Structure 1
């Protein structure tokens, strides 16, 4: 939903902002200095690290948009970096799965209820 033009007004961060600036140096090292938030949402579905970034970015946007979202923005950044710092594929996948559950409303929160931007 974040990539749909009619919901662009909900972005609390610039879609062209660099991932490294938002998530920090570990993310910049892993994903490169030129990767934007917009690009991160379109990440490769088959790559666990890209899935972590895509779901982490979505969770960050959800955390800024909804007070009922299960994570606060700082929690999203911390969890993504923890998974990257750990270095194990298991932690990357577990963090991505937690973000997926949170983003879909399975973690006890409500899902986003966007209306069309005016």
Structure 2
């Protein structure tokens, strides 16, 4: 599924290889590293894919201090939904994406930041 909102674009992909290809496609269409995020249910996998794709993981800049600290006490599912909503998606969209991540899929998000 692709989702294009006023603030961000997201695509659910089956695996890390497809996620890296999607990041490369987004780079070719004009997005910068600061605009691209990879999210996976498995933290280690997320880190590996983000590094291989030369993209970002959602962190302090996107969630703010409170959100980042709160994630330390949340379940992984709640943490993922929080990260997704911090990128501009609705609660319903975050629920959908988190269920897809539960199935082992990878979410690539492109969010234009100010230059």
- TM above 0.5, yes or no, is no
Which protein is richer in strand relative to its size?
A: 2
Which entry has the higher C-alpha Rg, 1 or 2? 1
Task: With a CA cutoff of 8 Å and minimum separation of 6, indicate the structure with the bigger relative contact order.
Answer: 2
TM-score, with structure 1 as normaliser: 0.31
Provide TM-score, normalisation by structure 2: 0.31
